[in-house]
Amino acid sequence: MSQPVISARGLTKRFGDFTAVDGIDFEVPPGESFGLLGPNGAGKSTTMRMVGAVSQRTAGDLQVVGLDPDSHGPEIRSQLGVVPQEDNLDTELRVRENLIVYGRYFGIPRAVCAQRADELLGFAQLEDKARSKVDDLSGGMKRRLTIARALINEPRILMLDEPTTGLDPQARHVLWDRLFRLKERGTTLVLTTHYMDEAEQLCDRLIVVDKGRIMAEGSPSALIRQYSTREVVELRFGSDRNASAAEQLAGQADRIEVLPDRVLLYTDDGERLLERVAHAGLHPTTSLVRRSSLEDVFLRLTGRSLIE
């Protein structure tokens, strides 16, 4: 493996008595799309801030592009593109101006900034909005503009913190398409998300984080293979009957999880299990057979749902 662009060993961040990141280890090789999956408050954003060289670690070792963020912050940030969780575009500037002023922070000459801004507006499908005010853009357009802005310095690593939170499904898919193109071009992507479908779509490899610790690490498919079954049967009997129905189904599936609104049965053959449920005389109000997802992995690892 070539030298990683990010290498963390025992990375720790404490705020007073609270430990936000608790001694995590991970490496990101160049060109990989790497994800941090976990619920809100898991320590993902804090990790991103340390990798982004804007927050000092409390303990551990961290190298980004071969340098220590504590001593080489500007050097590291010159190689990063950062897409924050909340848009921080300058609403008093026009769309194209946002790209140009941001490029200047990296010491890029004005003429080069202008040329790159035009190219990036094309990439972000915002050419016809170049002279628009930022406030006139939709949420999805603003996210695409923020991503375009993060690419103005041709970064070695693009860091995205919850890139599609708050977007409608169509806008999410447009954004995924743009990120997938970057991935195909070999851009190293580091993203945090609490959406398992996003992690499955975009990440080559990910770490599942909870309470500042890594619960599991691997590719989405490997994690599902390791921590879940091929299929899941979701049954709804009504909130007051789910628990008793689950007791009746004991032994029918590899594993059973009772959630407030449904019962999950883990198995390699969902249709056959559904037949056994019917033979047992149980009649759920709704039933669904689906493939296992990272949500199931997280549930298995933590006993909690990702989105609570």
DSSP three-state, residue 261: coil
Return the exposure string of 29-68: e unless at least 16 CB atoms fall within 10 Å of the residue's CB, then b.
Answer: bbebbbbbbbbeebbbbbbbbbbbbebebeebebbbbeee
Residue 109: which region, alpha, beta or left (left: phi > 0; alpha: psi -120 to 50)? beta
| Using rule CB under 8 A, residue 77 touches another protein | yes
Q: Which is nearer to another protein, 82 or 209 (CB)?
A: 82
Structure tokens at 31: 């060109």
Residue selected from 7, 14, 60, 106 as contacting another protein according to rule CB under 8 A: 106
Residue selected from 91, 226, 244, 285 as contacting another protein according to rule CB under 8 A: 91
To which residue do tokens 């009772």 refer? Answer: 258
Binding positions for another protein, 152-191, rule CB under 8 A: 153-157, 182, 185-188
| Using rule CB under 8 A, residue 308 touches another protein | no
Q: Taking the complex as a whole, how short is the minimal distance between the CB of residue 74 and another protein, in angstroms?
A: 4
Q: Taking the complex as a whole, how short is the minimal distance between the CB of residue 150 and another protein, in angstroms?
A: 8
| Using rule CB under 8 A, residue 65 touches another protein | yes
Q: Which is nearer to another protein, 135 or 240 (CB)?
A: 135
| Using rule CB under 8 A, residue 27 touches another protein | no
Residue selected from 9, 10, 90, 139 as contacting another protein according to rule CB under 8 A: 90
Whole-Å CA distances, 101 to 62, 94, 140, 289, 302: 30, 11, 21, 51, 44
Closest CA to 226 of 291, 304, 294: 294
| Using rule CB under 8 A, residue 46 touches another protein | no
Q: Answer for the pair 37, 199: CB distance below 8 angstroms, yes or no.
A: yes
Order of all β-strands in the sheet with 263-267: 255-258, 263-267, 231-236, 286-291
Q: Could you list the residues that contact another protein (CB under 8 A)?
A: 2-3, 5, 30-31, 52, 54-56, 65-67, 72-80, 82, 84, 86-93, 97, 101-102, 104-107, 115-116, 119-120, 122-123, 149, 151, 153-157, 182, 185-188
